[in-house]
Amino acid sequence: MREARSVAAVRSAEQTLMAKLPAGTLMQRAAAGIAATCATALGRVYGSPVVVLAGSGDNGGDALYAGARLAARGAHVTAIAAGHQPHEAAAAALMANGGIVLWAAGETSAPDEPSDPSAPNEPSEADSITTRARAAIADARLIIDGLTGIGGHGGLREPAAALARLAARARDDGAFVVAVDLPSGIEADTGEVHGAAVEADLTVTFGTIKPGLLIDPGASCAGAVELVDIGLQPYLAEPDVISFQSADVAAILPRPSAESDKYRRGVLGLMAGSEQYTGAAVLSCGGAIHGGAGMVRVVSAAHAAEVVRQHWPEAVITAYDPGRSAEAIETAGRVQAWAVGPGIGTGQEAHALLAAVLDSEVPVLVDADGLTVLSEHRELLKREAPTLITPHAGELSRLIDADRADIEARRLHYARAAAVELGVTVLLKGSTTVIARPDRALPVLVNSTGSSWLATAGSGDVLTGLAGAMLAQGLDTAAAAAVAAYLHGIAARLAARDAPIGASDIVGAIAAATRAVTGNNL
């Protein structure tokens, strides 16, 4: 389990710990962790050209002290100071070990020499970065990003933004970029990016992971994340964000016992498909069956029901007549949960189906067309039983009247806001899946197994069936969403192996994904 905590929680823990330690101890612990990681990345430290991008805050100090340690081992370290004044003691330590300190906007051999007073407040990249600094970045094998820390907000300003762009060019040419605590330009609490930001190959973070390292777009800038223990753990509050790992999923994944039968394993009611959209019912039914439901009761239009019967003879099928669809919900039989929405359409028939399902007293998952109907009939969500919705950004934008692009840029904010506003658990689909509950005191769950191969028609229908099966087997809405999203992502990776796939391939790989997670590969 990867636990992430807010900046406020980190600051509180740091203050408590620093009161018990000699001044500068935490910075030295952080620097040691950075230097060790960088040495591993370099392989051969002696003679390697290293650049430290140093802001004026503590992250700049961490990076400079790490640079001093690498310089002591023979690396050719050049620090480029982006702020008015880099950390004085750290810069001195670097120079004492043979490193060089340059000003981004005016070179100097000493960190306390003032920059050029004639430089404009917001210079262009060409004006703001000196020739020597540019050359050092271009020639670096490794770049340490210490421009801003977890307190940074609102995007990078010049000359830091220009340095981030130069680092990106060097990375394209083969330089390895290590971010200190988090990539500069990323909002630590949310993963939001406003303008230029550093794109790292590896982020060395201290004490606890920050939410912005787990949630896109920030997560995409972080690269691999390595947590360094600096002694904060005993003083940290409960996590704000949690990312499940394989062991966590295996621990809560429903497994049948010796006494299990098809009813005890969980019966899922699945409302999917229509005369026009038959594939949605087939795919979501496959996801539910491979998700472990003991029985799947499919309710659909006659043509879709027949297609499901051909693909999944183990499903129990109820076909409804036009205009009498709601009656099929009552006659389908007893279920432990419902999943509704894929391919049901958005007209009066779909509204009647959705209203009948949400009027039940069991957990309900709503997806796809069901969400479109909900956007015009939000009153249907006023129910006592648990509800899980699984929108992508476009569907959520209609539900809460927000801009789609803004949702994609502020995924954590909108998932939380929607959960509170609608009173349901929200699984916001995307490159990183965000799962928020109505109770803001509970941590948000994040899934990072998603793959670009999931961007294929019908993959969401598979997730609907998979998550619905987890609900039917007794998991709460958040756990069902997290487990299903994790397996869904692993299944896509196993099915694709860098080759195009369709949603049906994901269905076929769910069993292998489950075996991979549980360690049962027999």
Residue 116's pLDDT is: 42
| Residue 127: band (very low, low, confident or very high) from pLDDT cuts 50, 70, 90 | very low
Asked if residue 157 has pLDDT above 80, the reply is yes
Asked if residue 84 has pLDDT above 90, the reply is no
Interval 477-493: pLDDT, tens = 999 999 999 999 999 99
| Residue 521: band (very low, low, confident or very high) from pLDDT cuts 50, 70, 90 | low
**pLDDT, the chain, mean:** 92
Interval 10-67: pLDDT, tens = 999 999 999 999 999 999 999 999 999 999 999 999 999 999 999 999 999 999 999 9
* Predicted TM-score (pTM) above 0.75: yes
User: By percentage, how much of the chain surpasses pLDDT 70?
Assistant: 94
Upper half-sphere CA count for residue 501 (Cβ side, 13 Å): 24
Interval 263-301: pLDDT, tens = 778 999 999 999 999 999 999 999 999 999 999 999 999
Asked if residue 123 has pLDDT above 70, the reply is no
Asked if residue 98 has pLDDT above 80, the reply is yes
| Residue 118: band (very low, low, confident or very high) from pLDDT cuts 50, 70, 90 | very low
**Using CA of residue 136, residue 74, residue 203, residue 176, what is the dihedral sign?**
positive
Domain boundaries, the chain: 2-239, 246-253+260-518
Pick the CATH number of 246-253+260-518 from 3.30.830.10, 1.25.40.10, 3.40.1190.20, 3.40.50.2000: 3.40.1190.20
Q: Which CATH superfamily is domain 2-239 in?
A: YjeF N-terminal domain (3.40.50.10260)
Give the CA distances from residue 250 to residues 253, 482, 486, in Å, rounded to whole numbers and listed in that order: 5, 12, 11
Asked if residue 120 has pLDDT above 60, the reply is no
CA–CA gap between residue 267 and residue 369 (Å, rounded): 23
Query: Burial, 426: exposed, middle or buried (Cβ in 10 Å; 0-12, 13-18, 19+)?
Result: buried
Answer yes or no: are the C-beta atoms of 115 and 145 closer than 8 Å. Answer: no
If you average pLDDT over residues 465-476, what whole number do you get? 98
Phi, psi of 14 (to 5 degrees): -65, -45
**Which of 95-109, 316-330, 407-421 has the largest mean confidence?**
407-421
Query: Burial, 128: exposed, middle or buried (Cβ in 10 Å; 0-12, 13-18, 19+)?
Result: buried
What are the beta bridge partners of residue 263? Answer: none
Residue 152's pLDDT is: 83
Asked if residue 405 has pLDDT above 90, the reply is yes
Tell me the three state secondary structure of residue 264. coil
